[in-house]
Structure 1
Amino acid sequence: MRMVRIWPGRLLICLTTAMMWLGLALPARADASISTLLSSTLNDHNMVMLLIEPETGAIVDANDAASRFYGYNLPQLRSMSVQDLNTLGQDEVAAERRRAKVEKRNYFIFPHRLASGDLRTVEVYSAPLRDTGGRTLLLSIVHDITGKAVADGELAAYRMRLEELVTRRTAEATQAQSRLRFWMTLGLAMQTVLIVALVIAVMRRHSALKEVAHEAHTRRRAEEKLAIANADLQRFAEIAAHHLQEPTRRLIVFSQRLNKLLPNQANENIAFSLSTIEEQAGYLHALVRDVQVYLAAASPLGPITALDPARMIEQIRNDLRARFAEQQAELIVAPLPTIHMDTPRLRYLLNALLDNCLRHARPDTPPRIAISGETRDGRAILRIADNGPGIPVDFRARVLEVFEHLHAQAGSRPGTGLGLAVVRRIVTSCDGHVAIEDSPLGGIQIVLDLPGEAP
């Protein structure tokens, strides 16, 4: 029969536990709590004692020996839980309790951490205790066995549990480190891919910016060259038209002079030739004049001011008084909106439209011209309607181009084919447009969109 050796310290713990079980299991007085009983009755005992709530592990009370052993004062201990002292996890504590039940022992061996950070190997003896409210608590007596001899079997089991704990914690740490290394590697790979993609995007953007800058520079140079070429062409056309004016004027003058020098125009062929020269010289003179006007029509020829078109139409009618009287023409002018333009171009525009109405009037009907207007969205809309023969719908867009004109009526003077083209060029330069519609008077109605407000 093997003898079991009982250490004096363990014998003291067993006796103390038995005394506490027998003494405190009795009904407590109604005016005393468990914490008061522990502090007043066992506070002077040199054994470490803790009163613990079993469900949460909260430390309800402790004695001075516990305060000295753990290095915490009593208020601090009462605010802590046993998990704050035990370095094992909850699952490991539960496993230790299951092992104690299987081994039929009423104590546990745990590693406890002190306030200083030192670890102590302790034996914990626990017994149930009821308070006055019927709550069941655990009275735990803690005995420090660090560095002391214990039974070989218990020591081996304890070391085995510690080794299992270290192995399990090491495996968990290794797994966590592997997962961390995997995610860090994946993150670095993704970061590298993003950096490479960003570098490629920056390089492409830089290349695209260089291409855009090159294209913009090329386009700007082309526009500058085109502007210079257009300016040279414009200047050449103006100079050519100016120099053509003098020969045409001389043709007219000398043809008229020959008519005066020839007595009674005895030779009909000579007279016809001279009249033809004079007529064609006059047409050429008008053509060169209109070419000059067309070239200058795209830009203002004076300051932009607020103009009254009705007053300007009245001035034009006075200038054409003889033609109006000869053709018995009727001009009706309704109230017109103010137009913001330069005076020379607006005068030419209105004069050309009135001349067009008189030139293309019906031979058997006196001309009727009605001019009306309105303001719409800051623009001045003018309508010039007549009772002439009209213009076929398919031909209305063509008559606005250069050198496109209708056949003149019998006995009327032919036009140069630039009048309506100049009108369109003037209106287009003002960001407007020209439209030809059917007239309520029976002929055509020309609609002009002009600036009604100061630019």
Structure 2
Amino acid sequence: MAWPCRLLICLMAALLWMTPPAKADADVTALLSTTLNNHSSIMLLIEPETGAILDANDAASHFYGYSLPQLRLMRIQDINTLGPDEVGAERRRAKAEKRNYFIFPHRLASGELRTVEVYSAPLHDGGGHTLLLSIIHDITGKTVADSELAAYRTRLEELLTRRTSEALEAQSRLRFWMTLGLALQTVLIVALVIAVIRRHAAVKEVEHEAHTRRRAEEKLAVANADLQRFAEIAAHHLQEPTRRLMVFSQRLAKLLGSPPNENIAFSLATIEEQASYLHALVRDVQVYLAAASPLGPMIANDPARIIDQIRADQRARFSEHDTAFQIDPLPPVLIDAPRLRYLLTALLDNCLRHARPATPVRIHISGQMQNGRSILRIADNGPGIPLEFRTRVLEVFEHLHSQADSQPGTGLGLAVVRRIVESCDGHILIEDSPAGGVLIVIDLPGETL
């Protein structure tokens, strides 16, 4: 069958040679359709470099089971079951005219495989393009030349061997990556298990520490409550002996009448004075212990109203010091009324107690609301407090002046004030007054009345 196929190829080449260049460049695919379309041999016109099927005849459409438009959209690689490398190698050999006869396995549209003889030869059109004309004969089940069949089988065996090798290599690579993936997964699982165990242990440890801390806090709270209760009871029981010391010292002074000497009078006066001081000290200790707990409803109270009450109750004492008040509008503060009264009383008492000798007392009370907080300022014209003592005077039993002064304090007044303010989520500062004395700044929660 080689001679008829070669004759057809020669005829096709002659037709292409006789075609004018301009026309051949445009109608080369149509030439196959118009000249050889009715021929019974299967013909494909192929672009050698890409394998694109440029045209086919009706016999090819009938054999492969694809319509002509479908075939013109396909590549020879879609039909030839050899791999791209093998098909490419065969195309390059055909292009170089080293071979024009092949045996290939072709797949039909139905999926059926057919063994075919392929006669291929390059065709040059007038435009300088090189095409490949392939004439195909179905030899499935037919006897062919032993040499060609042996070569065909050899190529198939080589292809099978190569693809089997590639499959084994791919399987080996897949097994390697699967093994590596399983190993990594195992490592991650182990690490996750270790992390979970450590986290569980850490949670247990934290829970144990939290439980231990709660127990310690509970014990501390109980101990503080016991200590608070003991101090309150002790202060309460100390009140009566101090009161009796004062009463009996006064009674003894009356019984003696005119003391026979100054030593007895001095001793009695000292006993009475110290008993009075001890009484005040025990009283302030009781107040300090109770300062952290509300003594009434925690509501918004007006400081100006409380100050008016204090001024009315201590009018004589303020008059004695020739005290002048300047009270600006004050914001309300969120605190119980009894402790607010004690706080303001203690601060005003300090203004009088530490006033300059023979100098009228001037007290300026102002305030403002800032971000929901009430800021109260109490300024006087006294001698002031040196910077290094402004923190110490807020502690318990801290005296700015000697207890030998005419009106010594217990050292608890400002400490009680600080305790009240801090128990209400506030804070207190001591600054310089514009009048030269002390400026007490109190920051407390505020609320609109």
TM-score by length of 1: 0.85
CA distance in 2, matches of 1:369, 1:102: 117
Given candidates 19, 30, 49, the residue that maps to 1:27 is 19
Asked if 1:190 is matched to 2:180, the reply is no
Asked whether the 8 Å contact 2:426–2:442 carries over to 1, the reply is yes
CA distance in 2, matches of 1:449, 1:189: 64
Q: Secondary structure at the match of 2:212?
A: helix
Q: Which residue of 2 aligns with 1:347?
A: 341
Asked if 1:296 is matched to 2:305, the reply is no
Asked if 1:264 is matched to 2:257, the reply is yes
Q: Secondary structure at the match of 1:164?
A: helix
- Label 1:111 to 1:316 Cα distance change in 2 as closer, same or farther (>3 A): same
Q: Which residue of 2 aligns with 1:420?
A: 414
- Label 1:136 to 1:256 Cα distance change in 2 as closer, same or farther (>3 A): same
Flag structure 1 segments of 5+ consecutive residues without an equivalent.
1-8
Number of aligned residue pairs: give it. Answer: 446
Asked whether the 8 Å contact 1:33–1:131 carries over to 2, the reply is no
- Label 1:378 to 1:169 Cα distance change in 2 as closer, same or farther (>3 A): same
Flag structure 2 segments of 5+ consecutive residues without an equivalent.
none
Q: Which residue of 1 aligns with 2:205?
A: 211
Q: CA deviation at 1:16?
A: 4.0
Q: Which residue of 1 aligns with 2:73?
A: 79
Asked if 1:13 is matched to 2:5, the reply is yes
Q: Which amino acid aligns with 2:235?
A: A
Residues 103-122 of structure 1: pairs in structure 2 closer than 5 A: 105-122=99-116
CA distance in 1, matches of 2:286, 2:241: 15
CA distance in 1, matches of 2:176, 2:380: 90
CA distance in 1, matches of 2:390, 2:13: 122
CA distance in 2, matches of 1:15, 1:443: 129
CA distance in 2, matches of 1:46, 1:285: 136
Q: CA deviation at 1:92?
A: 1.6
- Label 1:45 to 1:103 Cα distance change in 2 as closer, same or farther (>3 A): closer
Residues 67-216 of structure 1: pairs in structure 2 closer than 5 A: 67-97=61-91, 105-127=99-121, 137-216=131-210
Q: CA deviation at 1:283?
A: 1.9
Q: Which amino acid aligns with 2:86?
A: E
Asked if 1:248 is matched to 2:245, the reply is no
- Label 1:90 to 1:325 Cα distance change in 2 as closer, same or farther (>3 A): closer
RMSD (Å), alpha carbons: 3.3
Q: Which amino acid aligns with 1:229?
A: A
Q: Which amino acid aligns with 2:221?
A: A
Asked whether the 8 Å contact 2:115–2:139 carries over to 1, the reply is yes
Asked whether the 8 Å contact 1:39–1:61 carries over to 2, the reply is yes
- Label 1:136 to 1:294 Cα distance change in 2 as closer, same or farther (>3 A): same
More displaced, 313-322 or 119-128? 119-128
Asked whether the 8 Å contact 2:123–2:130 carries over to 1, the reply is yes
Q: CA deviation at 1:93?
A: 2.4
Q: Which amino acid aligns with 1:412?
A: S
Q: CA deviation at 1:273?
A: 4.3
Asked if 1:233 is matched to 2:227, the reply is yes
Asked whether the 8 Å contact 2:311–2:318 carries over to 1, the reply is yes
Asked if 1:360 is matched to 2:393, the reply is no
Q: Secondary structure at the match of 1:298?
A: coil
CA distance in 1, matches of 2:313, 2:209: 54
More displaced, 42-51 or 213-222? 42-51
